[in-house]
Chain A
């Protein structure tokens, strides 16, 4: 009994000290059955040219790349090698309802051989932070750790960094 109380107290203390909180994220991903992951190649580009040179764009891109490479995909330079897939992604933060900010991340996986998209992902979360660098990294990591993941609507809880 004493030990369990001590354990609970330690967990509470750790949670307080590390500022642990979860970000509920609504995820809609639609994946075509023909998508292949292991051994395929890809290149990735920002969807919005206005954000192409933003520092956070480079960070989010590297997170997506890391997630895909963990799944056995390889990034190539699409100007020299034809990739299996082309990834486009974008993100935005704006005023949401209930005195919160709405944060959205979208991505599209395009198959040049089939000439059609094979996966679309849409992540939506609401919260009090409007800082992309605070909000998106855990959401992106979580979503791409399950790539190509689920089909349809899921609600994921992402631990905040």
Chain B
């Protein structure tokens, strides 16, 4: 039998994974004593209405304005929230937010005080394909209130940086006092409130660098406190740079309960 040379039998690298739609994370710093913050939160709701699943919001109660009132039922401030404010930069004023933890070329800081610039930066970020895909799987036991979180990551491009993973639990639909321009509103509905960082507040290092097709597989567990409404709780997870900057590579969110 003659040997027929196979002209196209050279080993080819498989194409990289298909990148997910980019999901942008907006971390709003807020507080119940901040009179202008309801306007900031309303701006975020408008942005969520506009961008849908491509935008994930977290409201971090931190700093002086987060001190609860005597009539408040809850204290939304957390040690991780205060640590995050120091980590991302203490803003000059509220409302303020950090978008994908990116220092944009027209800005002087990660913190974007005021709401005018948020939409423009989000519009830029949603167009950038992520370098890594991320998936969240939650296992919820309603009897023990134990939540098991599985994070899967798959790189689309090489990442020549340390990569960190941060996981938060946020809760929406919490009715409590908030200062507004019309005075205190005791029935204000707080949304996307940062309740807990499952990882370190500045993330757990999961890789020192990554090639294409590299996989990340992490599992965490946490018992949801009885005072939280698990049906209103969401797991937010994101990979981010851990070396030269703090930029978020890709984010995802998933409800705690099915």
- Chains A and B are bound partners: no
Chain A residues with a Cβ under 8 A of chain B: none
